[in-house]
Structure 1
Amino acid sequence: MWAKNFARIVFCLYRASSGALFHRRSYQVNTGFECALVGAASFDAGHFSHERFGTTVAVDGGYASLRKAGFAADFALGDFDSLGYVPLDVPIERHPSMKDDSDTALALDWARLRGYSSVAVYGALGGRLDHTHATIAALAGAAHAGMRVAAVGEGNVLAVLSPSCCDVLELPALPSGTFSVFSLSDEAAGVTEVGAKYAAEGVALRSDVTLGLSNEFVGRPVRIELASGMLAVYLPALPLSSMRFGRR
C-alpha cells in the first residue's frame, strides 16, 4: 500500500549509498519487559519461553495455558469464567463477571498500579475479533498512561508507540517480511520509517486510511518514529528482546 501513494505523499526508496541508516539522536532506549500477562486466547509458548519476565500474571484462562506449557504463574486475575475454576496455588484478584472492563484491561491496570512500566501481553490476540479489538484498545489506554506495551499472537507482535511512553522503535535487520503501522488516534503525526523498502519522513496518518499497510524488511535495521498521536506497529513474531524502544 505504501507504493501506491507516491502522488500524495513523498516517499523514497532508501538506498544504502545515501548515507547512514540512522542519524545520531539523543533518546533513552529500553529493551525487555518487566511483566507478562497471559490470557485465554492462543498462546505462543515457544515465543514466551525465550523471553525473561520478572512477573508472570495469568489472566483468567491464561492460567491453564501456562500450566499446559509447563510454566508457572506468579499471580492470577480475572472473573475466571473462561477457566471455569479459581486457582488455589497462586495469589489471585477475582473480579465479577458483570464488569465494565475486559480482564486484559484490568490486568494492565493492575500492573500499572504496582509500578510496572513495561508489560508484554500473550494470549489476547486472535479468536473473537471483538476480543482482539478490546485488547488493542486496552493496550492504547496503557500506552497513554505511560506504559511500554506489546502483545504477542501466533506469528505476530503488536507494539504501541506514543509520546507518553515511547516514540521510537528500533527493529533488527530481517532479510524479508512485512510490517504495518496504523494510527490509534485521530491522527498520528510525524511518522518516520528508515531502513525499510519504502522510507517515510514526517508522514501524518489518519485513523481512517490504510497507507501504513505492508512495508518490507530488506536486510537492514529499521527505525520507526512518531511525533504525536498514537501508532500501532504490526510485526512478525520477533523476540521482544530484539526490539529497542526509545523516548526522545
Structure 2
Amino acid sequence: MTNRMTQTILITGGSRGIGRAAAIMCGKRGWSVGVNYAGNELAAQETVALVEKAGGKAVAIRGDVSVEADVIAMFAATEKAFGTIAGVVNNAGIVAPGMALAEMSAERLARMFNVNVLGAYLVAREAARRMGTDRGGKGGSLVNLSSAAARLGSPNEYVDYAGSKGAIDTMTIGLSKELGPRGIRVNAIRPGLIDTEIHASGGAPDRAFRLATQVPLGRPGTADEVAAMILFLLGEEGSYLNGAIIDVTGGR
C-alpha cells in the first residue's frame, strides 16, 4: 500500500472510538472507507460525514461480524462502492460489565466469543479470500485489534474479554505466516487504557481515568493515538511489518 494512491479500507466497528478515529485518518489521506457498524446508524453516518470532511470517501454498512452473511455482505458493499479492498481493520468487539468468572452466564460468554473471536476470524477469513494473491487479489494489510488484557488477564473484571483477545494474538501470529506469502501483511495492536465509549458499555465509564495510576505515562491514551498506529500498519510505512503485536499502552 502507498499513501500516494487512493486506497479502499474496510473498518469493522467503525462508527465510534478507535474505529472512527482510524476512519477519519484514512479520510485525511484521501482514502475510501467502508464503515461497518452493528446498530447505531446515527453514529455511523456521523463517521461517514467526518471522513468526507477530512478529504476521503465513506459508506456506512450495517452488519454483525458474528454473522457470516453479514461479513460477506460488508466486504461486497465496500467493494461495490469503492473497488478492490487494500486494507482491513478488524476492530469490532464488545465488553460486558466487570465481574468474576464464577458470576458469568453462559449467554454472556457465548456472545463475547461469538463477536470477539468468531467475528474476528470471519472478517480475517473474508480478507484472505478477497486480498490473497493466490485467489486473484492484490494483497494488502490486515490489522487486528487485540488488547493489553490479553497479557494482563483482567481478573475480577473481564477474563472472558481478555481470553477473546488472547485468541486475536494467536490468530495474528498464525495468519502472518499463512498469508504473508499470499501478499497480505497481518499485524495486531494491543491498546491499553484508552479513553473511549467501550468502558461505559462495560458499566464503568470512568475506568480509563480511574486506573491511569497504573500507567507509567500517568494517563489514559486516546483513540487517535491508537489510530495513528493502525494507519502506520495500513500504509507503506509498515511495509516490512508482519506478525507484529504492538502494545499501545503507555508502558502498562
Q: Work out whether the TM-score is over 0.5.
A: no
User: Which of structures 1 and 2 has the bigger CA Rg?
Assistant: 1
Larger relative contact order (CA 8 Å, sep ≥ 6) = 1
- The interval holding the TM-score normalised by the smaller chain is 0.3 to 0.5
Structure that is richer in helix per residue? 2
More strand by share: 1
